[in-house]
Amino acid sequence: MRTQVAIIGAGPAGLTLARQLALQGIESIVVEHRDRAYIENRTRAGILEQPTVTLMHELGAGTRLAVEGMDHDGFFLRFDRTTHRLNFHRLIGGHATVYAQQELVKDLVALRLEEDGPILFETKVVGIDTRADGATLRAERAGEIVTIEADFVAACDGFHGVGRAHIPDSERIEITRTYPVAWLGILARTAPATPEGMYCAHEDGLSLHSMRGPRITRQYLQVPADTDLDDWPDERIWDELTRRSESIDHPELERGEIFDRSLAPLRSVVCETMQKGRLFLLGDAAHIVPPAGAKGLNLAVSDACVLSYALGAHYKAGIREHLDSYSTTCLPRIWQAQYFSWLLTTTIHALSDDPMDLRLRLTRMQRWVESEDEQRALGEVYLGLPFPTPWAYN
Ligand code: RFL
Ligand code: PHB
């Protein structure tokens, strides 16, 4: 097989890039290790920034999103048993939209298959070879080896993919921080605790009460990093969510059937070397943010814009410089998201027993709810900083 751009991975980064290239008349092959049902049902992110939503409309992937997505103006923050509302929309305009990642993946997969070309499902890339004039992927498919020749490789293959590993350790600048906690996440059949998502900064740890619809909630608990899910029967989860979200101003949390549960580690990673020759890293393949702040998917989409624009400039106008500056174009926005996620993570989680830390965290939150300037600074990033480039080269 031969194509212009070989895309490894059909997550948000790979599918967005594939669509952007197709709309610019650039050919691609998307190779995905899992089957279609698996990627369309994987429970993950749920909060889309305003620039992500606007982009999905431009790409023709916004029809269901417009109907089913829930626009939120900001979020609720509860500490000292008292609930506060941070309304960023009032100060900045725009919204954050609640729309599950797997729904966005379904929409992008349908669009790709109906209008743009195939996705090679159940095909795992096992080898990448890059040269000055092109690249070769080797992939396993039903026990056979498939070879794909391409001008460029877009590694959109997530944190454990083969793309990042292709850049030798000696050349890769990678900055990492691991937190001693994880998020235990559930989906449950209950009504949301508050009309928009709520972070509860309890002294024993965070609880987060988000939603996927009027009767489906997504809720998280801060737990130690070495937690075993088997130690958390439903009753224990509800007891802890209830205890951490107790307040003087709202009724107790509703309990209901829990139908999905998972653990997610908290870590920050930025691989600043996002390209090597004709290979480019996008999304989780290049960076991981801790989940507080909901930035991961949005960063993946933002990287896709930068690469799509650069490939457009290359194929349509023979301009190479945007490809050469791919990493340096992406990195400032990635670091802004890392900073925001770090600020939120270290403020709303209990990461130490030191009473000084607790007082300082409470003081910071008090300032957030009292100061419009603080809210504007938070809101600009929460609702989404502009993407570094347009997605199409004109
Ligand atoms: P993905 O989605 O991991 O997709 C990578 C794809 O590559 C495939 N693959 C391969 N295919 C072929 N050959 C190989 N060798 C391959 N190796 C891997 C995989 O099967 C997969 O389909 O990466 P992408 O596209 O970069 O997207 C990133 C997002 O998925 C991720 O950042 C978010 O889910 C993070 N995240 C959140 N992000 C948000 O923007 N808003 C949120 O509200 C939000 N909440 C979350 C989150 C992540 C969480 N977890 C589970 C870590 C909440 C949680 C709990
Ligand atoms: C979610 O709804 O999954 C969610 C909400 C807020 C976050 C992270 C995840 O900070």
User: 310-330, pLDDT tens digit by residue?
Assistant: 999 999 999 999 999 999 999
Q: Ligand 2: does its nearest atom lie under 6 Å from the Cβ of 379?
A: no
CA distance 16 to 162: 20
Contact yes or no for 64/107 (Cβ under 8 A): yes
Residues near 165 by Cβ (< 8 Å), separated by ≥ 6? none
Domains in the chain, number: 1
pLDDT category at 59 given cuts 50, 70, 90 is very high
Atom of ligand 1 nearest to the CA of 303: 26
Mean pLDDT score, 51-61: 98
Quick check: is 261 in a domain? Answer: no
Q: Ligand 1: does its nearest atom lie under 6 Å from the Cβ of 45?
A: yes
355: which 2 tokens? 């009473």
Quick check: is 58 in a domain? Answer: yes
What is the whole-number distance in angstroms between the Cα of residue 237 and the centre of ligand 1?
A: 25
Q: Which domain holds residue 277?
A: 2-72+101-177+268-350
The pair phi, psi for residue 311, each rounded to 5°, is -70, -35
Atom of ligand 2 nearest to the CA of 344: 10
Contact yes or no for 75/208 (Cβ under 8 A): no
| Cα–chain center distance at 38 | 18
Percentage of the chain with pLDDT > 90? 99
Mean pLDDT score, 353-362: 97
Quick check: is 35 in a domain? Answer: yes
pLDDT digits (tens, 9 = 90+) for 150-181: 999 999 999 999 999 999 999 999 999 999 99
Percentage of the chain with pLDDT > 70? 100
Mean pLDDT score, 240-253: 97
How does the average pLDDT of the chain come out, rounded?
Answer: 97
Strands annotated E in the chain: 2-8, 28-31, 47-48, 70-72, 74-79, 82-87, 96-98, 119-120, 123-131, 134-141, 144-155, 174-188, 198-202, 205-213, 216-224, 258-271, 275-276, 279-281, 287-288
CA distance 150 to 81: 57
Quick check: is 358 in a domain? Answer: no
What is the whole-number distance in angstroms between the Cα of residue 45 and the centre of ligand 1?
A: 8
What is the whole-number distance in angstroms between the Cα of residue 301 and the centre of ligand 1?
A: 11
Q: Ligand 1: does its nearest atom lie under 6 Å from the Cβ of 294?
A: yes
Could you confirm whether 99 is annotated as catalytic? no
Q: What is the predicted pLDDT for the residue at 289?
A: 98
Q: Which of 108, 157, 287, 295 to mutate to test the pocket of ligand 1 (most atoms within 8 A of CB)?
A: 157
pLDDT category at 52 given cuts 50, 70, 90 is very high
Mean pLDDT score, 215-223: 97
Quick check: is 55 in a domain? Answer: yes
Query: Which CATH number is 64's domain given?
Result: 3.50.50.60
- What does the CA dihedral 26, 29, 32, 36 come to, rounded to 10 degrees? 80
Atom of ligand 2 nearest to the CA of 210: 2
Could you confirm whether 382 is annotated as catalytic? yes
Q: Is the pLDDT of residue 45 over 90?
A: no
pLDDT category at 124 given cuts 50, 70, 90 is very high
Q: Is the pLDDT of residue 384 over 90?
A: yes
Spot the catalytic one: 12, 99, 199, 388: 199
Quick check: is 109 in a domain? Answer: yes
Mean pLDDT score, 250-261: 96
Quick check: is 222 in a domain? Answer: no
Mean pLDDT score, 368-390: 98
DSSP-assigned letter for residue 93: -
What is the whole-number distance in angstroms between the Cα of residue 300 and the centre of ligand 1?
A: 9
Q: Ligand 2: does its nearest atom lie under 6 Å from the Cβ of 46?
A: yes
Q: Ligand 2: does its nearest atom lie under 6 Å from the Cβ of 292?
A: yes
Contact yes or no for 296/269 (Cβ under 8 A): no
Q: Ligand 1: does its nearest atom lie under 6 Å from the Cβ of 15?
A: no
pLDDT digits (tens, 9 = 90+) for 193-205: 999 999 999 999 9
Spot the catalytic one: 51, 291, 322, 349: 291
Q: Ligand 2: does its nearest atom lie under 6 Å from the Cβ of 197?
A: yes
Quick check: is 325 in a domain? Answer: yes
Could you confirm whether 295 is annotated as catalytic? yes
Q: Nearest Cα to 104, choosing from 166, 41, 169? A: 41
